[in-house]
Structure 1
Amino acid sequence: MSGQPNAPDSRHHPPLPPVRVERRSVDEAESRRANGPDWDRYADEYQATHGEFLGDVGFVWGPEGLTEDEAGILGEVAGRDVLEVGSGAGQCSRWVRSRGGRAVGLDLSMRQLQHSRRIDEHTGCAVPSVRATATQLPFRDGSFDVVFSSFGALQFVRDLDHAIAETARVLRPGGRYAFSITHPTRWMFADDPGEEGLVASQSYWDRRPYVEVDEATGEVSYVEHHRTLGDWVALLARCGFVLTDLLEPRWPEGHDRVWGGWSEVRGRLTPGTAVFGATRG
């Protein structure tokens, strides 16, 4: 959906009026209608606040600052066809292209893609990008060697089985798939970077989406979906992937950045990000 989300945000903290928070089922169409415009509204602030940390030509897997240079979860990208789902301003795809990969970006937010074009012009490293959704990838079967998503799209998708199946469809046999998400155990805690964010207050197994409703219009304005670690592994297996990596980055010493509910206070005790790596059978 909106890439870079790539890096997360504190969107699932109790919001200020006139937004009402609910925990209930929301279908894919309603999720998409809410989250696309939400990221269009938020894109300018997001890039202004986090752009320097992400880097115009940089690949960061999450707020801890783990880079793909360090993780190496994609494998070799030079000479390979690479798709970033939820590409936002294209920072990660630009990193891939700077290392010889043929990266393409995809995002639901037009405003994020406009920021990608701005950075293309500024850096001289352009990322071909398309506006589309993770559940309907506009590419032929077997188009890519690598598909990845760095905090982009997946947590905002209701029909995740369709999204993972679409990824499998556009990947070539033996292709790599990698993505980062908010660590599922964080669902138990308030989205607070301080001590209150260390107190479990809801069930890890409660899979009802987090929903924000505009009280003035009654329309859903933001949705985030939760799955357990077991849910993610089962989804990958059902779609023909073999899980090879599950990284839980530790908070680095001296890293004082606060990003939504991510902080040193929480990060030194509990994981905030999960990074999955898998191979298509």
Structure 2
Amino acid sequence: MSYGEPAGVGRQPSDSPASVRANRGWWDADADEYQAEHGSYLGTADLVWCPENLREQDAHLLGDVQGQRVLEVGCGAAMCSRWLVGQGAEPVAFDLSAGMLRHARAGNAATGVGVPLVQADAEHIPFRDTSFNVAFTAFGAIQFVADSARLMREVARVLRPGGRWVFATTHPTRWAFPDDPGPAGLTATMPYWDRTPYVEHAADGTPTYVEHHRTFGDRVREITAAGMQLVDVVEPEWPAGHTQVWGQWSPLRGAILPGTAIYVCERP
């Protein structure tokens, strides 16, 4: 069952418990529709970083994963982890949503690639210290948690020394613009520095979907405070001939504004 159209939309505070409840419920309800709309684009065993269609097979942001223990944070249907199995990695994938993990299990069954799956909150990663060589997420978890600084510390905790952490999010500058793929999305109307969460809520005021904004500076400080080093930021350009419209992403906006930021980090 889908939540349907929210009764209200706006900017309002949302702490960790409220964000977890809202986003678990939203992704559980939306999982089938999301897969129906985006599943063919994302594939059953592929690592697509963003709507700009940047693929790991071309970008090599994770480095050599052969024989490496890899953690996928906010895995959705786990197509990225299944692709990594084909590259010789040993991935484990987790997500907050039981609905999305249901699709992950179906993908495992359809492909015969048995990626281990765990349901968990990204602010409380349920693995031992120094368990993984690599951690990553392609638009999972980061902007849906209230305390992304804690998430960074958790990732640093489970990474081994020399480990790599790569995460893709909506480009921070997009938060100054309306969430519109058309001409209306080309004019900044909101302060870039307003970190008040975007919240959709039901008629009784209960949040049903939450996203949290952080500036570029915020992200850098979160990464370094967690004891990691930022070694690269990738801002994919919209490729010629790419006509896919995905929510606020479109060829029109992509020709003018960056839509995605991918942060490449390492634990010393």
* Range class of TM-score, shorter chain: over 0.9
Q: How many Å separate the matches in 1 of 2:76 and 2:201?
A: 24
Q: Cα distance, 1:70 vs. partner?
A: 1.4
Q: Cα distance, 1:142 vs. partner?
A: 0.4
Amino acid at match of 1:20: G
Q: Note the alpha carbon deviations across 1:82-138, whole angstroms, 9 max, x for none.
A: 000000100100111111100000000001111011111111111101000111111
Alpha-carbon spacing, 1:103–1:18, altered in 2? closer, same or farther (3 Å)? closer
Alignment of 1:72-111 (within 5 A): 72-111=60-99
Number of aligned residues:
266
Matched, 1:236 2:223: yes
Q: How many Å separate the matches in 2 of 1:218 and 1:269?
A: 36
181, 196, 201: which is aligned to 1:193?
Answer: 181
- What secondary structure is seen at the aligned counterpart in 2 of 1:35? helix
Q: Note the alpha carbon deviations across 1:170-199, whole angstroms, 9 max, x for none.
A: 000110000000000000111111111101
Q: 2:39 — aligned with what?
A: 51
Q: 2:233 — aligned with what?
A: 246
Matched, 1:177 2:145: no
Matched, 1:115 2:110: no
110, 113, 124: which is aligned to 1:125?
Answer: 113
Q: Cα distance, 1:207 vs. partner?
A: 0.5
Q: Cα distance, 1:160 vs. partner?
A: 1.1
User: Do the aligned partners of 2:233 and 2:264 also contact (CA within 8 Å) in 1?
Assistant: yes
User: Do the aligned partners of 2:175 and 2:192 also contact (CA within 8 Å) in 1?
Assistant: yes
Q: 2:210 — aligned with what?
A: 223
Q: Note the alpha carbon deviations across 1:221-276, whole angstroms, 9 max, x for none.
A: 11100000111011101111111110000001010010000000000111000001
Q: How many Å separate the matches in 2 of 1:37 and 1:224?
A: 14
Q: How many Å separate the matches in 2 of 1:231 and 1:212?
A: 24
Amino acid at match of 2:150: H
Amino acid at match of 1:277: V
Q: 2:148 — aligned with what?
A: 160
Q: Cα distance, 1:22 vs. partner?
A: 2.5
Q: Cα distance, 1:19 vs. partner?
A: 1.7
Q: Note the alpha carbon deviations across 1:117-167, whole angstroms, 9 max, x for none.
A: 111111111110100011111100000000001100010000111111000
For structure 1, which segment, 56-65 or 20-29, has the greater mean C-alpha deviation from structure 2 after superposition?
20-29
Q: How many Å separate the matches in 2 of 1:164 and 1:18?
A: 31
**What is the TM-score normalised by the length of structure 1?**
0.93
Q: 2:18 — aligned with what?
A: 30
Amino acid at match of 2:256: L
For structure 1, which segment, 176-185 or 16-25, has the greater mean C-alpha deviation from structure 2 after superposition?
16-25
User: Do the aligned partners of 2:42 and 2:79 also contact (CA within 8 Å) in 1?
Assistant: yes
Q: Cα distance, 1:16 vs. partner?
A: 8.3
> Which runs of 4 or more aligned residues in structure 1 lie more than 3 Å from their structure 2 counterparts after TM superposition?
15-18
Q: 1:21 — aligned with what?
A: 9
- What secondary structure is seen at the aligned counterpart in 2 of 1:164? helix
Amino acid at match of 2:171: H
Amino acid at match of 2:129: D
Amino acid at match of 1:255: H
> What is the root-mean-square deviation of aligned Cα atoms in Å?
1.2
Structure 1 unaligned residues grouped into runs of 5+: 1-14
Q: Cα distance, 1:218 vs. partner?
A: 2.4
Structure 2 unaligned residues grouped into runs of 5+: none
Alpha-carbon spacing, 1:48–1:16, altered in 2? closer, same or farther (3 Å)? closer
- What secondary structure is seen at the aligned counterpart in 2 of 1:78? coil
Q: 1:12 — aligned with what?
A: none
